[in-house]
Amino acid sequence: MDNLAMRLVTQWIKNYPMLIHCTWVSDRWHYEQGCLLKGIHDVYMHTGENDLLEYIRTNMDRYVENDGNIRTYREQDYNLDQINNGKMLLQLYRYTGKEKYALAAKKLIAQMNNQPRTKSGGFWHKKIYPHQMWLDGHYMAMPFLAEYGIMFGEGHYIDEAVRQLLLMEDKARDSQTGLLYHGWDESRGQRWSNPVTGQSPQIWGRGMGWFAMALVDTLPFLEGHVGREKVAAMLQRCSEAVLNVQDTQTGLWYQVMNHGTRQGNFLEASASSMFTYTLKKGNTLGILGPEMAEAAKRAYQGIINNFLYKDREGMLSVKQNCKVAGLGGNPYRDGSYTYYVSEPIVEDDLKSLGACIMALSAVEYL
């Protein structure tokens, strides 16, 4: 088996010694950077290549100051996306022992302590999206909360991570397919929200992927916790639902998961990578059965066949990534099928590249 994960990481670091050298990366504390660095860290954990850890450190140090201040980060936005980079803060604190990383992580924890909530206790995705829970935010924040709780002996953060994951499934799960809708609006005030259930209209592939990865990345921190069995059962339910809509020909997944080959729908790289990672890691954790590992292998080959390509210089790129998708905002995103299949498709954006590296790494190393 070719080591494609290491190849992608090595060429990226060679081409972009700092993330901001990449023309489509903005110079700010942003969750997409954390996605790529998480993929690089996955490869580092299996290879021990110090250059990879140094790359993570130098890119994080562009924003983390000696007193723990995080340049360009704004707590008052109460944006769960901005918690994602905290995962790398915890790793750097573990490896280096430098206090600035712990102090910076505590700044993110301060946001979580004050994050606005629904009446049922669920975190708003962002302050600008009141009363709304989105799948995305659970990947950004819950593994961080659980690991922080373990690292600093503050078990209530582990409890909170479990609570939030269970709440999201309860509010967003489709009873027929077992898949989760992208968002839930407690107020029912959004045009996209179902007036009865509060759920958004469609099941977006990457949204479901964010949530699946949130489950499998939180579970390692739940050993001995009373909520572990519930989260493991949730991972099993979600994985079975995902397996039911895996494309039989390619082993991949569609942008709008509940519409398959409907005109305009397309196989999407970031979601397919996220499910590949989840199914393989869940099997490695002993929670998912061998059929899930086999599904991950089929998806791995599908990624190679459909999403990876070489340019003239032999450089690998990851194509067919949905650039962005959301709900509400301005211009208004109504969560319809037409909306999700009309968003731009791009190559090598950081969240998709990071997810692809995680998927390749999981199959090649685990």
**Interior angle at CA 349, CA 164 and CA 25, nearest 5:** 100
Tell how far CA 73 is from the center of its chain. Answer: 19
| Distance of alpha carbon 325 from alpha carbon 327, whole angstroms | 7
Q: Which two tokens stand for residue 340?
A: 């999700």
For 318-350, how does the pLDDT look when each residue is reduced to its tens digit (9 = 90+)? Answer: 999 999 999 999 999 999 999 999 999 999 999
For residue 301, the 8-state DSSP code is H
Residue 82: count other Cβ atoms within 10 Å of its Cβ.
24
- Confidence (pLDDT) at 300: 98
- Are residues 356 and 277 in contact, defined by beta-carbon separation less than 8 angstroms? no
| Distance of alpha carbon 353 from alpha carbon 8, whole angstroms | 9
Total domain count, the chain: 1
Q: Which domain holds residue 215?
A: 4-365
* CATH number for the domain that contains residue 144: 1.50.10.10
Per-residue b/e over 46-72, b at no fewer than 16 CB within 10 Å? ebebeebbebbbebbebbbeeebebee
Active site residues: 136
The beta strands (E) that lie in 275-344 are given as 308-310, 316-318, 321-322
pLDDT tens for the chain, 366 residues long, are: 579 999 999 999 999 999 999 999 999 999 999 999 999 999 999 999 999 999 999 999 999 999 999 999 999 999 999 999 999 999 999 999 999 999 999 999 999 999 999 999 999 999 999 999 999 999 999 999 999 999 999 999 999 999 999 999 999 999 999 999 999 999 999 999 999 999 999 999 999 999 999 999 999 999 999 999 999 999 999 999 999 999 999 999 999 999 999 999 999 999 999 999 999 999 999 999 999 999 999 999 999 999 999 877 788 999 999 999 999 999 999 999 999 999 999 999 999 999 999 999 999 998
**14 Cβ partners below 8 Å, 6+ apart?**
none
Q: Greatest CA span in the chain, whole angstroms?
A: 55
| Distance of alpha carbon 269 from alpha carbon 293, whole angstroms | 19
- Are residues 274 and 355 in contact, defined by beta-carbon separation less than 8 angstroms? yes
- Confidence (pLDDT) at 312: 72
